[in-house]
């Protein structure tokens, strides 16, 4: 922005301040517009988030907001920080390989929330905060005098995102609740795995991540509602409910038909063909051709077009009833072809298929590379690190990864001296007391 235009902009905004009583939040917003917007791009680059959760559910919500430009200030316990800093399968240099992803694009502020001075700092930061994320057990924030009823007196526009195992109300609300428990009670664990084994889990923390996605969605809806009402609100995201929301028709099937969906391994009940099939060279390929028109294309590719007219396979319902028999026929055919030939034939006939990728296949896939689905970023200890890119993709205001997860307390002085105008002497005093 040229000097003259910047001066005009500031004069205009100073006039607006007078009309709107020069609120603290608006001053911070103008400061960002004139000085900080270039550092953060994306549709949320005028939004400030205070993240007070740890491990995964709350922090993943913060990651999603940060990916699209929000300034996310993560509060961490001095000396230890978020336990996720040391989680992960391998820890070169003693560092987590999980942390660089879930804390990417965030600022790290060390703050002891169990001290009165730490709580007072939160209240001061709340004045210029749009969204507060926390995933403590219900009642914890209230014990610290940081409940929503208290904080909205300071900032009526505040949106408070609360992620817990069972929600803020109800007889289970006070229980400790990890993602695994939400997956179990939300119904997911019951249907995952082979019917011959006990319930399985997915190899990722899907319950926490679903709760975080719903929390993020709720925060964005609350931001939109605030445009009309001028008021913030509470977003209550329970892990078990986030899982339950993904359980398709399982509840209705039981309610209306008395049917309980059971574990079915690699298939879905009454959905065929949609399974993993073997190839001549010992590889596996997932083929999904359960829609009538797609199954006709598969039958043609197999050289057996009559299958699509066979009463046993002609309709979705019929194929579901005869799933095992049909899958065996398809498997007999796929075993006659090597993987490359099979893939090419299916793609030529418009039949959806795909390899079952591990990370090794993902990083080498040309489509992933062309779309930059996996990106490489500099890292202070590893030299560089690859991770999944931002999703979804916006054409005009895309998100981006600006940096990996920060060091513990890396931005403490920046946040407190910048936002709260604390002097170096005051920062030294707080450090000596263990508040920061």
Q: Quick check: 71 and 107 in contact, CB under 8 A?
A: yes
Q: How far is CA 206 from CA 62, 63, 215, 233, 327, in A?
A: 16, 15, 14, 26, 29
How far is 374 from 109, CA to CA, in rounded Å?
28
Residue 100 φ/ψ, nearest 5 degrees: -55, -25
How far is 433 from 436, CA to CA, in rounded Å?
8
Q: Quick check: 69 and 390 in contact, CB under 8 A?
A: no
DSSP type of residue 37: G
Q: Which of 411, 435, 433 is nearest to 74 (CA)?
A: 411
Q: Which of 73, 66, 72, 62 is nearest to 42 (CA)?
A: 66
How far is 223 from 47, CA to CA, in rounded Å?
10
Q: Quick check: 109 and 75 in contact, CB under 8 A?
A: yes
Work out whether the CA dihedral 357, 358, 362, 364 comes out positive or negative.
negative
- The pTM (predicted TM-score) of the whole model is 0.85
Helix (H) or strand (E) holding 274: strand 274-278
In terms of CATH architecture, what is 274-354? 2-Layer Sandwich (3.30)
Per-residue pLDDT at 89 = 58
Q: How far is CA 33 from CA 16, 47, 408, in A?
A: 14, 11, 28
β-bridge mates for residue 160, sequence order: 132, 234
Long-range CB contact pairs, 171-178, < 8 A, 24+: 173/138, 174/137, 174/138, 174/139, 176/137, 177/239, 177/240, 178/207, 178/208, 178/239
How far is 249 from 251, CA to CA, in rounded Å?
6
Number of H helices, E strands in the chain: 20, 11
Per-residue pLDDT at 92 = 67
**DSSP assignments along 357-383, one per residue:** --HHHHHH-HHHHHTTSEEEEEETTTE
Whether 208 is a known active-site residue: answer yes
> Which of the following is catalytic: 28, 67, 82, 208?
208
How far is 171 from 226, CA to CA, in rounded Å?
31
Q: How far is CA 218 from CA 185, 237, 301, 360, 412, in A?
A: 22, 8, 45, 35, 28
Q: Quick check: 406 and 105 in contact, CB under 8 A?
A: no
β-bridge mates for residue 108, sequence order: 74
Q: How far is CA 351 from CA 243, 286, 320, 338, 346, in A?
A: 30, 11, 18, 17, 5
Give the homologous superfamily in CATH for domain 40-246+382-433. Answer: Crotonobetainyl-coa:carnitine coa-transferase; domain 1 (3.40.50.10540)
Per-residue pLDDT at 53 = 86
Give, for all 436 residues of the chain, the pLDDT tens digit. 444 444 434 444 444 433 333 344 443 443 444 344 445 689 999 999 999 988 899 999 999 999 999 999 999 999 999 998 888 656 666 778 899 999 999 999 999 999 999 999 999 999 999 999 999 989 999 999 999 999 999 999 999 999 999 999 999 998 888 889 999 999 999 999 999 989 988 888 999 999 999 999 999 999 999 999 999 999 999 999 999 999 999 999 999 999 999 998 888 888 999 999 999 999 999 999 999 999 999 999 999 999 999 999 999 999 999 999 999 999 999 999 999 999 999 999 999 999 999 999 999 999 999 999 999 999 998 899 999 999 999 999 999 999 999 999 999 999 999 989 999 999 999 999 999 9
How far is 32 from 48, CA to CA, in rounded Å?
10
Q: Quick check: 134 and 160 in contact, CB under 8 A?
A: yes
Decide whether 40-246+382-433 matches 274-354 in CATH topology: no
Instruction: Tell me the Cα Rg of the chain.
Output: 26
Q: Quick check: 189 and 183 in contact, CB under 8 A?
A: yes
Per-residue pLDDT at 91 = 64
How far is 362 from 369, CA to CA, in rounded Å?
9
Look at residue 402 and give its three-state secondary structure. coil
Domain boundaries, the chain: 40-246+382-433, 274-354
Per-residue pLDDT at 352 = 95
């Amino acid at each position: 922005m040229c000097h003259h235009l910047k001066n005009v902009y500031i004069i205009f905004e100073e006039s607006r301040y007078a009309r709107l009583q020069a609120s603290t939040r608006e001053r911070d917003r103008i400061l960002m517009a004139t000085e900080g917007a270039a550092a953060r791009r994306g549709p949320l680059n005028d939004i400030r988030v205070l993240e007070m959760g740890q491990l995964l559910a709350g922090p993943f919500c913060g990651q999603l907001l940060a990916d699209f430009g929000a300034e996310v200030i993560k509060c961490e316990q001095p000396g230890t920080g978020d336990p996720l800093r040391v989680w992960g399968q391998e820890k070169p240099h003693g560092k987590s390989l999980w942390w660089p992803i879930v804390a990417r694009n965030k600022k790290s502020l060390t703050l002891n929330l169990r001290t009165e001075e730490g709580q007072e700092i939160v209240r001061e930061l709340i004045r210029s905060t749009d969204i507060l994320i926390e995933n403590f057990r219900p009642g914890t924030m209230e014990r610290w005098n940081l409940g929503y009823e208290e904080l909205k007196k300071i900032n009526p526009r505040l949106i408070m995102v609360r992620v817990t195992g069972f929600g803020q109300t109800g007889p289970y609300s006070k229980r400790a609740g990890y993602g695994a428990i939400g997956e179990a009670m939300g119904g997911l664990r019951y249907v995952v795995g082979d019917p011959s084994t006990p319930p399985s889990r997915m190899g990722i923390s899907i319950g926490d991540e679903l709760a975080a996605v719903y929390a993020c969605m709720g925060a964005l809806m609350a931001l939109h509602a605030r445009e009309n009402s001028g008021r913030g609100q509470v977003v209550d995201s329970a892990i078990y409910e986030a899982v339950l929301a993904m359980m398709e028709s399982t509840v209705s099937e039981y309610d209306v038909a008395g049917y309980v969906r059971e574990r079915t391994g690699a298939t879905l009940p009454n959905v065929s063909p949609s399974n993993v099939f073997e190839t001549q060279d010992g590889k596996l390929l997932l083929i999904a051709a359960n829609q009538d028109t797609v199954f006709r294309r598969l039958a043609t590719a197999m050289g057996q077009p009559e299958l699509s007219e066979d009463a046993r396979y002609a309709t979705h319902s019929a194929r579901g009833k005869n799933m095992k028999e049909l899958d065996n026929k398809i498997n007999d055919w796929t075993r006659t072809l090597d993987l490359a030939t099979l893939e090419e034939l299916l793609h030529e006939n418009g039949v959806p298929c795909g390899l079952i990728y591990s990370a090794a296949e993902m990083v080498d896939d040309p489509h992933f590379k062309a779309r930059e689905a996996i990106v490489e970023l500099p890292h202070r200890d590893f030299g560089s690190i690859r991770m999944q890119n931002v999703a979804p993709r916006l054409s005009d205001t895309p998100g981006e990864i600006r940096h990996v997860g920060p060091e513990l307390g890396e931005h403490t002085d920046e946040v407190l001296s910048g936002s709260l105008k604390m002097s170096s002497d005051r920062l030294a005093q707080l450090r000596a007391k263990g508040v920061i």
